[in-house]
């Protein structure tokens, strides 16, 4: 199963909702959402859509980034989140550990949802080995999600393999869009994750959270594809021709990058597949339409997830 890890901003939540309208097989998909905004309404709309579509989704209930780094905001958000999750049986509440986590804190979240399966996201080594053995035996835990590089391999080995999911950051993030070029290996986890329950990544966004950014000098589209030589997932970087902040505007730069992406996808359909994101990019190029950088991000997420799902199902 595939567990893409997303920070719960507008583009990410809209990408999940967009996938629900696509007819492809989503039985292997379980998105993980870590909320970052105090306004819970967009998340509630996403959860409602997932519930209507029968789409499982994991929601971190102890987030601590961006607006929710404020303890007061986080407490108010948690109260609303509990209500939203109670109305969405297809959602899994998740507790994310860190280097300061206590067993009491983990149990408090488990006990807050007594009638539900929950997910533990292991993002630190705060729990001792004996405590980890205890939660590893807890039948209420549906999956143990390990954020790669955050806890010792010794502790990872204590988790039940049939419930273990390892999320790896496979995206090589650069400071400037203009610096991206060519193709590079992304992952082979879709072929190597057994005997674990599944695998995950941070898509072509990376694990580092940034609350915003300035006007880019270049626009980039990071499109994953199936390497025809070995079946691994690679990523190709499509960058606008104009790469200086003083050259052109963002709209024209987006269309330049999108045109490169569309041409490559048309030439190599057995590598990039077919999905709503590719259709959207083709429409933008055909109509010379600029949807905004947030939509560009949303479409990259949709394309990424569709390619991985198609590889898992054998459609690609």
- The DSSP string of 234-277 is EEEEEE-S--STTSS-HHHHHHHHHHHHHHHHHH-HHHH---HH
Q: How confident is the model at residue 209, as a pLDDT?
A: 84
Q: Which of 41-45, 210-214, 304-308 has the lowest mean pLDDT?
A: 210-214
pLDDT above 90 for 294: yes
Q: How confident is the model at residue 245, as a pLDDT?
A: 86
Task: Look over the chain and give the mean of its residue pLDDT values, rounded to a whole number.
Answer: 94
Other C-beta atoms within 10 Å of 17: how many? 17
pLDDT digits (tens, 9 = 90+) for 235-244: 999 999 999 8
Q: Please name the residues in contact with 41: beta carbons below 8 A apart, sequence gap of 6 or more.
A: none
Look at phi and psi of residue 25 and say left if phi exceeds 0, alpha if psi is from -120 to 50, else beta: beta
pLDDT above 80 for 122: yes
> Span 5-33, mean pLDDT?
97
- Across 115-119, 125-129, 198-202, which has the greatest mean pLDDT? 198-202
> Span 100-129, mean pLDDT?
92
- The pTM of the full predicted model, rounded to 2 decimals, is 0.96
Among 14, 16, 18, CA closest to 276: 18
Q: Please name the residues in contact with 107: beta carbons below 8 A apart, sequence gap of 6 or more.
A: none
Name the more confident of 70 and 274: 274
> Span 42-71, mean pLDDT?
92
Q: How confident is the model at residue 94, as a pLDDT?
A: 96
Q: For residues 143 and 203, what is the distance between their CA atoms, to the nearest angstrom?
A: 20
Contact 75, 68 (CB under 8 A): no
Q: For residues 257 and 252, what is the distance between their CA atoms, to the nearest angstrom?
A: 9
pLDDT above 90 for 19: yes
pLDDT above 80 for 102: yes
Q: How confident is the model at residue 76, as a pLDDT?
A: 84
pLDDT digits (tens, 9 = 90+) for 153-185: 999 999 999 999 999 999 999 999 999 999 999
pLDDT digits (tens, 9 = 90+) for 179-196: 999 999 999 999 999 999
- Per-residue confidence band for 11, with pLDDT thresholds at 50, 70 and 90: very high
Phi, psi of 235 (to 5 degrees): -125, 135
Q: How confident is the model at residue 82, as a pLDDT?
A: 84
Every domain of the chain and the residues it spans: 176-185+212-316
pLDDT above 90 for 15: yes
pLDDT digits (tens, 9 = 90+) for 80-95: 888 888 889 999 999 9
Check the CA dihedral 22-26-29-33 and report its sign: positive
């Amino acid at each position: 199963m595939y567990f893409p890890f997303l920070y719960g901003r507008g583009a990410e939540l809209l990408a999940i909702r967009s996938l629900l309208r696509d007819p492809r097989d989503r039985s292997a998909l379980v998105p993980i959402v870590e909320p970052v905004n105090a306004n819970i309404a967009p998340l509630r709309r996403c959860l409602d859509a997932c519930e209507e579509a029968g789409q499982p989704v994991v929601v971190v209930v102890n987030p601590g980034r961006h607006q929710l780094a404020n303890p007061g905001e986080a407490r108010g958000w948690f109260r609303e989140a509990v209500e939203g999750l109670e109305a969405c049986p297809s959602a899994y509440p998740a507790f994310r550990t860190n280097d300061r986590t206590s067993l009491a804190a983990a149990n408090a979240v488990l006990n807050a949802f007594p009638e539900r399966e929950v997910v533990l996201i292991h993002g630190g080594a705060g729990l001792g080995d004996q405590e980890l053995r205890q939660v590893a035996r807890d039948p209420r835990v549906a999956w143990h999600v390990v954020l790669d590089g955050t806890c010792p391999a010794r502790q990872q080995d204590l988790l039940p393999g049939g419930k273990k999911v390892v999320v790896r950051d496979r995206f090589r993030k650069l400071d400037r869009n203009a610096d991206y070029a060519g193709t590079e290996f992304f992952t082979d986890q879709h072929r190597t994750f057994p005997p674990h329950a599944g695998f995950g990544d941070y898509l072509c966004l990376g694990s580092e959270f940034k609350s915003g950014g300035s006007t880019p000098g270049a626009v980039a589209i990071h499109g994953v594809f199936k390497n025809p030589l070995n079946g691994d997932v690679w990523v190709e970087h499509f960058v606008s021709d104009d790469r200086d902040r003083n050259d052109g505007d963002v709209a024209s730069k987006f269309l330049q990058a999108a045109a490169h992406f569309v041409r490559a996808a048309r030439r190599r359909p057995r590598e990039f597949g077919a999905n709503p994101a590719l259709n959207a990019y083709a429409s933008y190029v055909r109509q010379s339409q600029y949807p905004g950088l947030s939509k560009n991000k949303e479409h990259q997420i949709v394309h990424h997830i569709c390619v991985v799902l198609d590889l898992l199902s054998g459609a690609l």
